[in-house]
Amino acid sequence: MNYRTFGRSDFRPSALGFGCMRLPVTSDSKIDRPEAIKMMRYAIDNGVNYFDTAYGYHGGQSEVVTGEALLDGYRQKVKLATKFPSWNVKSRDDFDRVLNDQLKKMQVDHIDYYLIHSLGDGSWKNVQKFDVLTQAEKALKAGKIGHLGFSFHDDAPVFLKIIKEYKFEFCQIQINYLDENNQAGLAGLKAAAAKGMAVIAMEPLLGGKLARLPGRVQTAFDASGVKKSQAEWALNYLWDMPEISTVLSGMSTMRQVEDNLVYAGRSSAGMLTGIEKEAIKKVQKIMLEDKAVPCTSCKYCAPCPNGVDIPRNFEIYNDWRTFENDKDAVDSYAWFKKQSKGKETADNCNGCRTCEEKCPQKIVISEWMPKIKAALDK
């Protein structure tokens, strides 16, 4: 295993971190406890020392199983991270209630790295409203948590605002070679690192999509003459950056653990050659040009009078076209529809065309929404 730096601290995290969001499951969608524990302990035995879970993963059971995996002396070998659900806080008492529940579920007396989960513009205001950070600072002093950070899913200006308004020690962002300009992106990565913050990379394979690329994309990698799996290309892109402290992988099988350990064992900052960087640029170009709808997610079209999240609909549709994976796109659309209670999906568009007057890309949105519904609402 290779180890990296973690901001200004003396902790040396493993290049590969274990994300506990996609643990193996049984036929009834419950965590396969024996297999999950076997995988996690195998990773620890082979040098992985950073484990990341959250209050809501696997219906609240990820923390339980992660805690079980860390029994029998394994807890002392790793740094444990979990998250406080920022969107669900309703009172000042919620922080201590959730934290104490997490400590009990994981059978530990402290959490090394505690994150305010999924901060964005709305949840950041919620955190401030209920004084969550003051409660977190008390937990730091009491030794219940060791370090305070946050995970992020919003736009770069919001990210920059958050790290300006509060001195977090570390952050966790979605970053991969297709998300350079999405969410916090490379701009957020550079800004956080410049402040001395540790930066943890999540979604390195974009939910597995970057390990299931269509043939037309693979040809760009093949042309480089460098033989790597699609997963290793994506992981190497991140390990090449010295600003990244560890790369989280949500591993679901022992084979994935074994493969990722091999990749991490030959990783280093500055590892990519000029030929490899050029191959990744070619892949980026192919995939970005393959977008069916030229939406840049600028959100000038918002708010829609009927509540439709126009950029999100285009994002799912473009993924369908780019990755040629009908099932993933249909599942994403169904989840989006469920989460928004049907209010934000394409089928709620009535063709009023108010959005089209504001769109800098001149997209005929009223014509695209029925197409999206027909393709994905199955």
Considering the domain architecture, whether residues 192 and 320 belong to the same structural domain is answered as no
Q: What is the pLDDT of residue 369?
A: 96
274 lies in a domain? Answer: yes
Question: 289-295, long-range: CB within 8 Å, 24+ apart, which pairs?
Answer: 290/321, 290/322, 291/318, 291/321, 291/322, 292/317, 292/318, 292/321, 293/317, 293/318, 293/363, 293/368, 294/361, 294/363, 295/361, 295/363
Domain count, the chain: 2
**Token digits for 106?**
């994981």
Using the Cα atoms of residue 75, residue 65, residue 26 and residue 262 in order, give the sign of their dihedral: negative
Q: What is the pLDDT of residue 370?
A: 95
Specify the DSSP class assigned to residue 28.
Answer: T
Specify the DSSP class assigned to residue 14.
Answer: B
Provide the residue range defining the domain that includes 343.
310-376
Contacts with 326 (C-beta within 8 Å, 6 or more apart), sequence order:
320
Residue ranges of the chain with per-residue pLDDT less than 50: none
Q: What is the pLDDT of residue 323?
A: 87
In this structure, the chain runs to a length of 378
Considering the domain architecture, whether residues 89 and 148 belong to the same structural domain is answered as yes
299 lies in a domain? Answer: no
Considering the domain architecture, whether residues 272 and 326 belong to the same structural domain is answered as no
Q: What is the pLDDT of residue 291?
A: 77
Which neighbouring-strand residues pair with 151?
A: 172
Q: What is the pLDDT of residue 324?
A: 84
160 lies in a domain? Answer: yes
